Amino acid sequence: MALSRLNCFSSRSANLLKTLSSAISLRRPISTDTTPIIVETSVPFTSHQCEAPSRSVETNPKELLTFFRDMALMRRMEIAADSLYKAKLIRGFCHLYDGQEAVAVGMEAAITKKDCIITAYRDHCTFVARGGTLLEVFAELMGRQAGCSRGKGGSMHFYKKDSNFYGGHGIVGAQVPLGCGLAFAQKYSKDENVSFALYGDGAANQGQLFEALNISALWDLPAILVCENNHYGMGTAEWRAAKSPAYYKRGDYVPGLKVDGMDALAVKQACKFAKEHALKNGPIILEMDTYRYHGHSMSDPGSTYRTRDEISGVRQERDPIERIRKLILSHDLATEKDLKDIEKEVRKEVDDAIAQAKLFVDT
Amino acid sequence: MQLQPKLIALQLLHLRNPALGEGLEEEMERDPRVCVMGEDVGHYGGSYKVTKGLATKFGDLRVLDTPIAENSFTGMGIGAAMTGLRPVVEGMNMGFLLLAFNQISNNCGMLHYTSGGQFTIPIVIRGPGGVGRQLGAEHSQRLESYFQSIPGIQMVACSTPYNAKGLMKAAIRSENPVILFEHVLLYNLKERIPDEDYICNLEEAELVRPGEDITILTYSRMRYHVMQAAKTLVNKGYDPEVIDIRSLKPFDLYTIGNSVKKTHRVLIVEECMRTGGIGASLTAAITENFHDYLDAPVMCLSSQDVPTPYAGTLEEWTVVQPAQIVTAVEQLCQ
């Protein structure tokens, strides 16, 4: 009875989706059911200098379906970008995020658009999570004026000022001091918001990171440093670059939390915890244990420094979208067909956006 | 009508309100978004006392003592500027900002462009540079040479208490990132300046001495060597026009051009090294734009392409001296 009601719900909203698909932004909820569901994270959190939050995360059908849709959209977008790059419509550098979607999506679920996010060059999905449109993404990637940076930035320079997304940076690690500067501005203006400064395992060894962390801790800034550890700094595995790859501990006097970055709910819980912590006690480090399916960039096959077995293994065991799909199905929130339909819609959205972007003249 | 203008030092150790500090203080009063960051700018009062008294007046959140971490605190200043704050970042010596080159070049200079105009970076980066008195090679650098190519930044150099205060205020009010070059040896100059609020145009050169025979272009400390040479030249019957270019990027080609069109001879006197300095760029700009008006090739006197020696006599040799300026003018005016 409940199931059929849900089916009716989702097919009605699916029809709504079809008519509005061209105007749709990422944030349209598929289900409006906000009945709380408690889910356990895949693994418990590991903490450094603080008490880890509970691994029981509160969520609801609406959120889970939104996670699914958003991540499916991001996945499709990145794969489409891969094709566009091979067709030479995207040039230069292109760093894809597929596999890491849960970090962008889980973070967004825990914060508001008044909180700031800054990241490095693997920024397409973070931009979209902050409210950027597919058109802005593809137009920018193809160097058109309709792009989010008017075609002047490219893949590594996506920004969205009105939702406090500060980019989009090409030089490894340089965004971390900028991010701590955002936190400083928040403290200066006394506005009770926080800043998330994202960086990779490669950037984790940059001196300026530790400099900025020291200043942030000294000045009690609401700065949350998030290491998206996909275990490879371009072609160098973490154990070959860091004496201590326990990035969540490298803050020493700054507390840290290690999180399963392939579990959107764990990411959400960690970010919520971090925001509360930062507002009271200053900086904290989150290490997101994540994985990228593509190589470092489009010029890197990604298979010279890791085995295909490893990549397919992660895809099978830990894929973030599959995780949410299983959750949705096991809780009877939607049928397999519903989810496949969402994936089809999302694919069409991406294709439409690309077609639209192509209509714009090269900058 | 203004009252007797007050006697002020560009930066005098025992005066409460020196020109640079006063300019900074007035802008901090005027706009609560203005804050100061740097090493020892707060409790210590600044290594050259530019920020003396500001921490007591405005508090620790507006006058921030940073650890010795130029790369990160410059980056933080830029990040804060992206949100609309107006930080004034001090390099205790401009040479130390080499450690922050990436932040200054890529983030400070370029973010306005790479974000498609979404962000402005209204930051001021300032500090003393230039050759001092036997400070040694690393503390005698001329960073304007290295920064000049960075797209998106503006550079100005102050040389008198009057223009120091005016440029400081203008730089803070500007929406562009401005690098303000002070000079280690000019902090003790004294001059009377107006009581009322004034700013100097960031893009304007300053006519120091009008003349007919030759245009001498200079800035910062070399202005004083030029004026010393000018005295000698006047006694010898020459009439040099001296222009303090002040705006190092962009050049005030309007003022400079008008002068060249009048005198037809140009001598540039700078403290940068021979290779790749402001003089090199200015020579190219003048030759390109005013070639038809020149009766002689542009001559540029620069420092020697060597690390500044410690020994005083050697140090003197590496920097342009008034006697050399006199000889150069005599040569050009033959």
pLDDT beyond 80 at B98 = yes
Domain ranges of chain A: 37-359
> Residue B91 corresponds to which tokens in the numbers above?
């390099």
- HEC assignment per residue over chain B: CCCCCEEEECCCCCCCCCHHHHHHHHHHHHCCCEEEEECCCCCCCCCCCCCCCHHHHHCCCCEEECCCCHHHHHHHHHHHHHCCCEEEEECCCHHHHHHHHHHHHHHHHCHHHHCCCCCCCCCEEEEEECCCCCCCHHHCCCHHHHHCCCCCCEEEECCCHHHHHHHHHHHHHCCCCEEEEEEHHHCCCEEEECCCCCCCCCCCCEEEECCCCEEEEECCCHHHHHHHHHHHHHHCCCCEEEEECCEEECCCHHHHHHHHHHHCCEEEEEEEECCCCHHHHHHHHHHHHHHHHCCCCCEEEEECCCCCCCCHHHHHHHCCCHHHHHHHHHHHCC
Q: Is B264 a catalytic residue?
A: no
Q: What is the dihedral of CA B66, B71, B76, B81, to 10 degrees?
A: 120
pLDDT at A20 (0 to 100): 44
Which has the closest alpha carbon to A126: A186, A91, A84, A175?
A: A175
State both tokens at A69.
């849709």
* Site of tokens 């001091």: A177
Q: How would residue B125 be classed by pLDDT, with cut points 50, 70 and 90?
A: very high
Interval B97-107 mean pLDDT: 96
pLDDT given at position B8: 64
Mean pLDDT in residue range B236-246: 98
What percentage of chain A reaches a pLDDT higher than 90? 90
All structural domains of chain B, each given as residue ranges with its CATH number in brackets, are 8-192 (3.40.50.970), 206-333 (3.40.50.920)
CA A75/CA A85 separation, integer angstroms = 15
In the block, which residue shows the tokens 């009601």?
A: A5
pLDDT, residue B6, reads 67
Residue with tokens 């921030």: B64
Q: Is the pLDDT of residue A155 over 50?
A: yes
Per-residue pLDDT, averaged over A2-9, amounts to 44
How confident is the prediction for chain A on average, in pLDDT?
92
pLDDT value of position A31 = 74
pLDDT at residue B16 in the model: 36
Residue A344 to chain B, least CA–CA distance (Å) = 32
A253–B contact, CB cutoff 8 A: no
Cα separations (Å) of B171 from A195, B88, B147? 28, 9, 17
Report the gap between the CA of A165 and the closest CA in chain B (Å).
11
Are the C-beta atoms of B110 and A174 separated by less than 8 Å?
no
Fold entry, domain A37-359: Rossmann fold (3.40.50)
pLDDT in tens, A281-327: 999 999 999 999 999 999 999 999 999 999 999 999 999 999 999 99
Q: Does B82 contact chain A (CB < 8 Å)?
A: yes
Put simply, whether A265 touches B (Cβ < 8 Å) is no
* Average pLDDT of span A170-187: 97
pLDDT for A10 beyond 80: no
Token pair of B261 as six digits: 């069109």
Per-residue pLDDT tens for B134-155? 999 999 999 999 999 999 999 9
Q: Say what the pLDDT of residue B162 is.
A: 95
Query: Which residue of chain A comes nearest to B59, CA vs CA?
Result: A188
* Residues comprising chain A, all counted: 363
Report strand pairing: B240-244 vs B206-209: antiparallel
Strand-strand pairing, B124-129 and B206-209 = unpaired
Those residues with Cβ within 8 angstroms of residue A257's Cβ, 6 or more apart along the chain or in another chain: A45, A46, A47, A48, A50, A52, A53, A248, A270, A273, A274, A284, A285, A286, A287
CB neighbourhood size of B60 (10 A): 11
Q: What are A43-86's pLDDT values in tens digits?
A: 999 999 999 999 999 999 999 999 999 999 999 999 999 999 99
Q: Is A129 on the interface with B (CB under 8 A)?
A: no
Catalytic residue among B22, B27, B39, B70: B70
Q: Which residue of A has its CA nearest to B110?
A: A153
Question: How much of chain A, in percent, has pLDDT values that exceed 70?
Answer: 91
C-alpha B66: how far from its chain's center? 23
Indicate whether B10 pLDDT > 70. no
Q: What pTM was estimated for this model as a whole?
A: 0.89
Q: What is the Cα–Cα distance from B253 to B247, expressed in whole angstroms?
A: 10
Residue with tokens 């889980």: A106
A174, A176, A184 ranked by CB distance to B80: nearest = A184
Q: What are the residues facing B181 on neighbouring strands?
A: B127, B157
Q: What is the pLDDT of residues A78-114, one digit of tens each?
A: 999 999 999 999 999 999 999 999 999 999 999 999 9
Is A176–B85 a contact, with Cβ atoms under 8 angstroms apart? no
Answer whether the bond into residue A168 is a cis peptide, omega within 30°.
yes
Residue A165's nearest CA partner among B86, B82, B109 is B82
* Mean pLDDT taken over chain B: 94
Q: What is the mean pLDDT of residues B291-304?
A: 98
pLDDT band at A32 (very low <50, low <70, confident <90, very high): confident
pLDDT at residue B255 is higher than 70: yes
β-pair partners for A256: A48, A285
Task: Classify the C-alpha dihedral A356-A360-A156-B97 as positive or negative.
Answer: negative
**Residue A25 pLDDT greater than 90, yes or no:** no
